[in-house]
Amino acid sequence: MTKDMQKVKDLLLLRKCSDRTISNYLSYINRFKNYYKRKDLEKLNEDDILEYLKKNFINIGCSATTINVNRAAIKYYYLVNFNKNFSNVLLPQTKIPSRFPKIISKQDFIKMDIINFLNILNNPSHFLLLLSSLKTKTMSKAFITFTGIEQNHKRKKLLNKTTFITTSSNPWTEFMDFICKI
């Protein structure tokens, strides 16, 4: 390992970065150095780094996180070895798109084929959690098919098919009574 890379590694260790972060930074810096092996790294500027990021990551459709980690590794390398801090305006971070969880509404859940949906739930805890999230007023009728429960140590496993049908105004309480009888 070269002296400049060892310096980066030592400072990352001093900052208590994870082994994975250190490994990523070193590989990204090596890739950058190999790209510009015929040029003096100390004389490169923001435009050169931006060109590198565009050609190797942005244009081929890499994720925003990958681009940002590469950018951060290169900036850290320059800060540690050349005491050169690049401008965040000229070398900006890529915006990471926010992801919203896919959640179905209670009305859509009730419209679904509940029997088929609940057949895929093999864990009784997941099933109970799902059922408990429904308000009793939204369920006037519950047709629930699940498999029987077998307890093995502290885990429960579903076995044979059983159907729970209720028109109760409080299906949760009725279901819990039903489960206790199995």
pLDDT-derived band at 11 (thresholds 50, 70, 90) equals very high
Indicate if the pLDDT at residue 36 is higher than 60.
Answer: yes
Average pLDDT over residues 24-41: 94
Element (H, E) at 152: strand 142-152
CA distances from 86 to 35, 74, 113 (A): 19, 10, 57
Distance between CA atoms of residues 69 and 98, nearest Å: 17
If you average pLDDT over every residue of the chain, what do you get?
76
- The predicted-structure confidence for 97-137, as pLDDT tens digits, reads as follows 877 666 666 666 666 655 555 555 566 666 666 666 654 44
Could you tell me which residue, 88 or 149, shows the higher pLDDT?
88
Task: Look at residue 104 in the predicted model and tell me its pLDDT.
Answer: 64
Contacts of 95 (CB under 8 A, 6+ apart): 64
Distance between CA atoms of residues 71 and 29, nearest Å: 9
Distance between CA atoms of residues 78 and 8, nearest Å: 10
pLDDT-derived band at 138 (thresholds 50, 70, 90) equals very low
Average pLDDT over residues 77-105: 83
C-alpha 172: how far from chain center = 32
pLDDT-derived band at 139 (thresholds 50, 70, 90) equals very low
